Structure 1
Amino acid sequence: MTLQQRVNELVRACFAGIWIESHEHTDAIAELAGMCRDEQWRLVTWDIERGLRGPSGSPSEHDAGDPLAAVRAISSLADGETPAIVVLQNFHRFMQSAEIVQALAHAIHDGKQRRGFVVVLSPVVQLPVELEKLFVTVEHALPDRQQLLEVAAGIATEDDEMPEDAQLDAVLDAAAGLTRYEAEGAFSLSLVRDGVLAPSTIWELKTQAVQKSGLLSIHRGAETFDSLGGLDALKAFTRRAMMNRRSDGQAVRPRGVMLLSPPGCGKSEFCKCLGNEVGRPVLTLDVGSLMGSLVGQSEERTRQALQTVDAMAPCVLMIDEVEKAFAGSASGGVNDSGVSSRMMGTFLTWLNDHASDVFVVCTANDVQRLPPEFSRAERFDGVFFVDLPGREQKDAIWALYRQRYDIDLSETCPADDQWTGAEIKSCCRLAALLDVPLTQAATNVVPVAVTSAESIDRLRQWADGRCLSADTPGFFRKEVNSGKRRRRVTTKPSVN
């Protein structure tokens, strides 16, 4: 439903207080002006610089330059018959005044009788407790693909500037998640730089726009599954889940996977490779940046970040070390007044109900710090345990990083029992950095399996029979001693 349709319904239902959450005030006012023009309603806008203005931008006959005067003028603008809508831009800045709060309450109560409507247009919803029950909130959503196509058509007016088919889809994918103003700028820059609408330039500006919020970052590297050794079962599962299409052309939307493992086993690297493998951008959610100092700010930032993720679909969303992000929720949030519990609730609700094509990859090193409902069925398509690499995987990782750091293949590898892929990479990098043999560089590497042996053993014990194996099809089974030989046993899930 469009902004016009939502506000039209609310006005006809006589909701005298309407709060529109929008970062695009010019477009929101244009939509409201079109609605009022069609319905022959009166529209007046106000901001702190220009005061009250009529629909054409000319000064209103009511001189209301300060916020309190603007609110008091609302009652005189309504005649009791034709609806009069007063749009107050960025009015959340003035809600700290008790006089303004009381004046708004009076204006809303009088507006129900006199057909006067207060519309606050703001990028955030910050209602004082006195007004919470008097306002209904409406979200001015970011443009969808059809609206972005209309913006692109208005910028690329020459025949050879607008791409077609798959290239046009790539341009719209790159612009998804941008505001209308940002999309116009990205399309214009692409025409100046490339002579045609090109996804690369749009992605450049989109990455900057997303990073400005500080809540999300975009990874667009060149890594693929070929640059990541091991994890064969996990690779095959995610590739098939995201690329599979039924014979009737329809697709069942995948949800995501949760990866549990000791540190350094390739979880984060897998997420980065997955995006390129399936042709989607990888968004990383920094949960620490969601925490705010004001009451309700953390929850608002969480919703804002998830709305941006939805708008940028199709994409891959990575939340690294999720148990640290929502650690307080496991104890009921007693140490942070329940903030982490509410953030977790918001995320779980979105994870279960979102309709956008977002593939979520959560990584964790300690599942016991997460509430059990986090990994229940239908939150994720699968929960995988990524163990320390076996011999075959280690050989592939050694070969990969020997080539990357230009290390002679004839060099002897050090003893790598219980090493992770990160430790193999560290050994190769140190050998290249210090210009020493691999065996000497290995003396600077202390495996996490040694420093955290007890916690890793507990992690394997928990994953035994509860998680899928990332290396081979079937459930993960804890490694068992068999004399001097260690072996991994996997059991395929029953189909019954």
Structure 2
Amino acid sequence: MKFNDELALFLKARYPIIYINTVEEDRVEYVIRKNVKTSLNRSIYSWDFVDGYTNNPNNEGFAKRNPLQALELVERLNAETPALFLLKDFNRFLTDLSISRKLRNLSRILKLQPKTIIIIGSDLIIPKELQDLVTVIEFQLPLEDEINQELNRLIDSLNIKLESQLFENLTRACQGLSLERIRRVLSKIIATYKTINDNSIAILLSEKKQIISQTEILEYYSVNEKITNLGGLANLKDWLEKRKTAFSIQASNYGLPTPRGLLLIGLQGTGKSLAAKAIANDWQLPLLKLDVGKLFGGIVGESESRLRQMINVAETISPCILWIDEIDKAFSNTESKGDSGTSNRVLATFISWLSEKNKPVFVIATANNIDLLPLEIVRKGRFDEIFFLDLPKQKEREEIFKIHLKEFRPKTWETFDYVELAQSSDDFSGAEIRQSIIEGMYHAFYEKREFTTRDICLALKELIPLAHLESDQMIRLQEWASSGRIRSASSKQIYLN
């Protein structure tokens, strides 16, 4: 139900106290006044702590710095006068005994008279004794139509024309920002570039970064990695390519649901974290990394609160990518943890959100050990797909060596023997391959000469791959992939070579 319809319904049903949870104070007041003017015949009385009542000449400045007196105006008005009382930041005073008692006394009157108290606040703080009287309405951030309206207004005022694709990208980048922030950042774009172009997207994303910096749980990642930096993984790349434009307006008009997320499983160094960064860059979406360690607080109820905060921020910034690194360590053995059930409650809330979320938040979770993952996470429906990132096969290792050597030696990378390097690096992960190149460079640099294939091969002989140290875990993961319970990120053709 839309906000206007929901509010109108509550007013007609004479709900006594309505709480609107929003940071957009001016916008919500504008929407309420517009709604009341067109569909409801009610006088509006607006109050804040500093200026008291405003916008009504008979009560100008009344109850200034006196929240209890602000409630007395409700009784003073004629019983038959339909009225709305907008009390800004009034949530700060609800824990005061005199305010709480006054509201409970007023609720009897409000049920019989065409009067409603509307509290506007950014923090949802409702004492237990008032929870039965207060009805909460969420005031959504500007939706696509409202953002388009604001962008068209600016474009018309500047007398410029934008390509449809740029306009769509701007709309998507603005989603998750308040109308005031959108106006402010658009002014910044005009002041910087004197027009609106592709560079405007970066400024909009930096504004979203400001929102994320206000929370310690999420970190905004600026990424430059490309999908081409991933060696092998043909199945995963093909899956991602087909969903690259799934967040576009065209996909929405087609009726296509936005992808939910991926679970990437494999040993350390197989490219799971690199994949998360590359996807964000390729899809041109903000990348938020969840710090699982900070999610679990020491105070009872704090972990659940932090999880809700994380979800709220991610949905506010959406469309975005939420990266949860090493999720197996966060939710491993939840039943045996002596934390009074906190881990189980957090897991239940997180899984419920994964299944039911309707905002375009694409979740990428990575895990090293599938044995530690609760079955609830692995079950189908939580993620669109579960991919197993195996150790690279010979052809993939050749590709990985080429990617890294092009970076280190862009002019001479073709001189290396990639077949020999791939044959010498059996059971090495992508990260270990990169490290072998660096080790070979150190050796040659010490001897004051250019490094060669031989230097890298020597380094490969000295390094012990992680797969040899954790062979049992690697075998179990490969058995899972071969059984069909999880999908291989590499193509079958690679395994035949």
TM-score normalised by the chain length of structure 2:
0.83
Q: CA, structure 1 residues 98+438, in 2 after alignment: closer, same or farther (shift >3 Å)?
A: farther
CA 1:215 to 1:110, structure 2 compared with 1: closer, same or farther past 3 Å? Answer: farther
* Superimposed CA distance per residue, residues 113-139 of structure 1 (whole angstroms, 9 cap, x where no aligned partner): 334323222222122222222211111
Measure how far apart 1:186 and its partner are: 1.1
1:324–1:199 Cα change, 3 Å: same
Structure 1 residues 279-288 or 177-186, which shifts more? 279-288
Q: Larger RCO: Structure 1 or Structure 2 (Cα < 8 Å, ≥ 6 residues apart)?
A: 2
Give the Cα–Cα distance (whole angstroms) in 1 for the partners of residues 69 and 339 of structure 2.
40
Secondary structure of the structure 2 residue equivalent to 1:343: helix
What SS does the aligned partner of 1:226 have? helix
The one-letter amino acid of 2:192's match is R
Partner of 2:214: 212
Question: Does residue 69 of structure 2 align to residue 69 of structure 1?
Answer: yes
Distance 2:92 2:151 in 1: 34
The farther-off stretch of 390-399 and 202-211 is 202-211
Structure 2: gaps of 5 or more residues: 447-454
SS where residue 45 of structure 2 aligns? strand
State the partner residue of 1:420: 429
8 Å CA contact 2:236–2:387 kept in 1: the answer is: yes
Amino acid at match of 1:118: I
1:187 aligns with 2:192: no
Q: Deviations over 1:310-358 (max 9, x none)?
A: 4544443322222233347x318x6334333333333322322233344
Cα distance in 2 for partners of 1:311, 1:61 equals 36
Q: List per-residue Cα deviations over 1:52-75 (Å, max 9, x = no partner).
A: 31335995464352333334x254
- Contact kept? 2:173, 2:201, Cα under 8 Å: yes
For the Cα contact (< 8 Å) 2:324–2:365, is it kept in 1? yes
In structure 2, the CA distance between the partners of 1:326 and 1:103, relative to structure 1 (3 Å rule), is farther
2:470 aligns to what?
452
Give how far 1:193 is off.
Answer: 1.0
Letter in 2 for 1:221: V
Give SS of 1:222's match.
Answer: coil
Which is richer in helix?
Answer: 2
Instruction: Give the conservation status (yes or no) of the 8 Å contact 1:78–1:115.
Output: no
Q: What is the TM-score when the length of structure 1 is the normalising length?
A: 0.83
Matches of 2:472 and 2:57, distance apart in 1? 70
Query: SS in structure 2 opposite 1:88?
Result: strand
**Aligned equivalents of 2:403, 2:488: Cα separation in 1:** 23
Does residue 471 of the first structure (1) align with residue 485 of the second (2)?
no
Say which SS state the counterpart of residue 111 (structure 2) adopts. Answer: helix
**Does structure 2 retain, via aligned residues, the 8 Å contact 1:74–1:107?**
no
Residue 264 of structure 2 contacts residue 387 of structure 2 at CA under 8 Å; is this kept in 1?
Answer: yes
Cα distance change on mapping 1:117 and 1:338 into 2, 3 Å: farther
- Between the two proteins, the alignment pairs up a number of residues equal to 473
Cα distance change, pair 65–319 in 1 and its aligned pair in 2 (3 A): same
What residue number does 2:404 align with?
A: 401
Residue aligned with 1:113, SS: coil
Corresponding residue for 1:387? 390
Counterpart position of 2:204? 202
Q: State the partner residue of 2:449.
A: none
C-alpha displacement of 1:169: 0.8
Query: Quick one: distance in 2 between partners of 1:77 and 1:289?
Result: 50
Counterpart AA for 1:143: P
Change in Cα spacing, 1:367 to 1:126, as seen in structure 2 (3 Å) is farther
CA RMSD after TM alignment: 3.4
Q: For structure 1, which runs of at least 5 residues remain unmatched after alignment?
A: 475-486, 491-496
Residue 19 (structure 1) aligns with = 19
Counterpart in the other structure of 1:355: 358
Give, in whole Å, the separation in 2 of the partners of 1:291 and 1:184.
36
Q: Which has the larger displacement, 424-433 or 26-35?
A: 424-433
Structure 2 CA distance for partners of 1:327 and 1:134, relative to 1, 3 Å = farther
Query: Displacement of 1:444 after TM fit?
Result: 8.0
Residues 1:367 and 2:370 aligned together:
yes
Partner in structure 1 of residue 450 of structure 2: none
CA contact (8 A) 1:163 1:196 kept: no
Partner residue in 1 for 2:145: 146
Report the equivalent of 1:265.
Answer: 270
Q: Is the 8 A contact 2:481 2:488 kept in 1?
A: no
Q: 3-state DSSP class of the match of 1:80?
A: coil
Superposed counterparts of 1:435-450, under 5 Å:
435=445, 437-438=455-456, 446-450=464-468
Shift of 1:452: 3.5
Residue 267 (structure 1) shift: 0.8
